[in-house]
Amino acid sequence: MNLRAQTLEAIHPFRCLPPSLRAELAEELVEHAIAPGQPILRQGDASDRRVWLLARGRLEQVETYPRERPLGVLEAPRFFGERAALFDETRPVTVRALTAATCYSIEADRFLRLLKEDVAFAQALGDLLRDKRAIFAAFDRFRAELLHGVANGAISLKSLLPLYRALEPALHPGYAPDSEIDWSALSYAVRRLPANVTRTLTFFLTDELPERYAALAPSFRAVPTEARPRTVYEMLPGKSIVILRDGMSDLVDLVSCLCLYAVEARKIRRKLRGPGAIDALSRLPSDLSALASGGVVDAAGCADLRSLPFDVEELERLTSIWPEDTLQRVREIVVHHEDFGLEIKKQVHNYNSVHGERWTAQIAQATRALVGADPTELPAGLEVHVISSNTHSVANCLSSYWPAHAAEIERWARAERPALAAALAEPADLVYAAGREWLADDAARAKERRERDLGDGFVRLSESAFTGIQVDLVDLRRLAGRAIDPALPASQSGANALLVNIDFAFGQQAADVLGNLITLFGRRVRSINVLGKAGALVGRRGDLLVPDGFVEQGADGLLPLAHLQRIDVARLAARASGRAVHRGRLLTVAGTLLQNRRMLHFYRRIWDCVGLEMEGYSYARKIVDAQRLGMLRDDVDLRFLYYVSDVPLATAATLAERLDAGEGIPPLYAITREILCGILERAAALPPVRQAAR
């Protein structure tokens, strides 16, 4: 056996390759005779992405800047330099020869093809990187510190901040404290934090409103969160209570967003350290929007504005993040210093709370009112279809109100919202997108819509019992003979089914939410459908993702789905209006900010993931468990579909940059229609079921 073959057989994970592939690779290796002292890799080099094998000799790893420092010795046989190929990183250290050495190099593209060609090789490499080379140690340290705080009843943001920065979050490229203000990342965090974050010193985090506050709760002021459903009340100035959803995901999301905010708020405060900046803040008008848009202000105001270290673009960013009381927000950042106290009272080992129990009881009561029977005693043949969605797209497609007013709304939109009309080629999509504003113009229209939906068999639960999960129940039998979305199959007899349409669950909460529905409806559940938005590791915004399995971040558990998915991919592609449809595994992440480029490349190349989201693995795990227990039928139809809302490896297409209507609305309705078609076609084929008297 020659030295090339011996080297590949001696080095893990190359020894995991089948002999034929190993022999083929041996012929492709490029040999290098290295003299003592000769560098092979240079720290900071971005041009060389080759992977190296050391066959003979000894090498040293050296950090050459900011000062030279030896890091360790590499002994033959072994491989090195793989991170440049896998993660598109610059060389982290210099590697040079201590003795005369023989090395072989593999081109980056060939190395990446090996991962596609042999699963055993990919998994062996993944295990080595995770366990031996600890590429995810930063995530483990952050989570451990957070759990330590949960156990002690107080989370130290000061302790978490350096661990957060060590994560190098993909959505926060400006994580370094000495970098420029990352306005996009700041906007992302602020929209997902309580609106009073700039003036709150203490957040009391709990999964249940303490009994001692129950009598005072009506006097607490509700605090909105723009882009993330949260239950937050201001108890008194400077102190707010946050009712966390079940599971750890809500807590991780809140705390990581606070970390991002703290990093960027500190940068803003540092910019205001110049002489006279505080005095200028005290004299500026309370609303900066006129200044940011070039409006005319008096001479004193202009002088004060020039004394602040913000240019016109930065003022525009500030006013877009805080459109109201902008100056007051800046003042609060100056004096706050991100001195957050985070008290927490949360169950660590049992994530199920009474929230889900109350929520389930509400659904049972609403079901009895709608169909005239308890969920455990539904009429024979009446099937249940569960959908997890944003709720409004499903409701829009099934409502007979929109077809009745489509022509009027379309005319209004083309006259009043021409940019929106130009972005949406599908008339029904335009009707749904413009319809909300059209309804808001006239209270009578909104009232008519509600009455029409009631007649169509819609019931919306007004309370979410602190779960944050809105619920619509739809008796599909009542849609018989009614016009609905034109892309859905018409039915003269009605579909013999009850639709349970729930809002997006959040992370680990998904398992509890779906588990409660399975417990409630049991083997009557005929399909479980998840439609939502996800990040993509391939393609672009607006593309569609069809998962054939989910991989859990951290444990690297895999749950295959392909054998259960009931998706007509050809029909879906026809609905996609030219957008690409990608099939493959999806990664279920622990949090939107708990991901970095290294992690995303790892799961793309080792696990062949095409995208990422937060709930899929939790849903799939609960389905598998319920089937094994006999609570859910083995032939239940599954439909998991996502549209791409962000491409986190592309800086200009992350969640920090908002989707426009043309990017988000067509793919959302494409996957909504595909799921509803599957449900309606199945349900319409069943024998009719008599409706209970009302």
Q: Is the pTM of this model over 0.85?
A: yes
> Helix H segments across 441-581?
443-455, 509-521, 569-575
Residues 359 and 231 in one domain: no
CA-only gyration radius of the chain, Å: 28
Kindly state the average pLDDT of the residues 398-404.
95
Residues 259 and 282 in one domain: yes
| Residue 36 lies inside a defined structural domain of this protein | yes
From 104, 132, 160, the end of a domain falls on 132
Q: Positive or negative, the Cα torsion across 43, 48, 52, 58?
A: negative
| Residue 444 lies inside a defined structural domain of this protein | no
| Residue 491 lies inside a defined structural domain of this protein | yes
| Residue 323 lies inside a defined structural domain of this protein | yes
| Residue 429 lies inside a defined structural domain of this protein | no
Residues 663 and 526 in one domain: yes
Q: Which domain holds residue 58?
A: 3-132
675: CATH:
3.40.50.1580
pLDDT at 296 > cutoff 60: no
Residues 505 and 594 in one domain: yes
Q: Return the closest-CA partner of residue 186 out of 269, 242, 252, 247.
A: 269
59: CATH:
2.60.120.10
- Greatest mean pLDDT range, 32-41, 211-220, 489-498, 499-508: 32-41
Q: Using pLDDT thresholds of 50, 70 and 90, give the confidence band for residue 295.
A: very low
Residues 172 and 125 in one domain: no
Residues 360 and 489 in one domain: yes
Give how far Cα 57 sits from Cα of 36, 38, 233, Å: 9, 12, 65
Q: Give the 3-state secondary structure of 512-550.
A: HHHHHHHHHHHHHEEEEEEEEEEEECCCCCCCEEEEEEE
| Residue 694 lies inside a defined structural domain of this protein | no
Q: Return the closest-CA partner of residue 592 out of 524, 507, 517, 670.
A: 507
| Residue 610 lies inside a defined structural domain of this protein | yes
pLDDT tens for each residue of 664-683 = 999 999 999 999 999 998 87
User: Residue 671: what residue type?
Assistant: I
pLDDT at 118 > cutoff 90: yes
Which has more confidence, 651 or 320?
320
Residues 176 and 58 in one domain: no
Residues 59 and 161 in one domain: no
Residues 195 and 216 in one domain: yes
Q: Return the closest-CA partner of residue 9 out of 79, 80, 58, 110.
A: 79
Residues 70 and 164 in one domain: no
pLDDT at 352 > cutoff 60: no
Which has more confidence, 209 or 172?
172
pLDDT at 350 > cutoff 50: no
Residues 315 and 233 in one domain: yes
Number of domains within the chain? 3
Residues 184 and 244 in one domain: yes
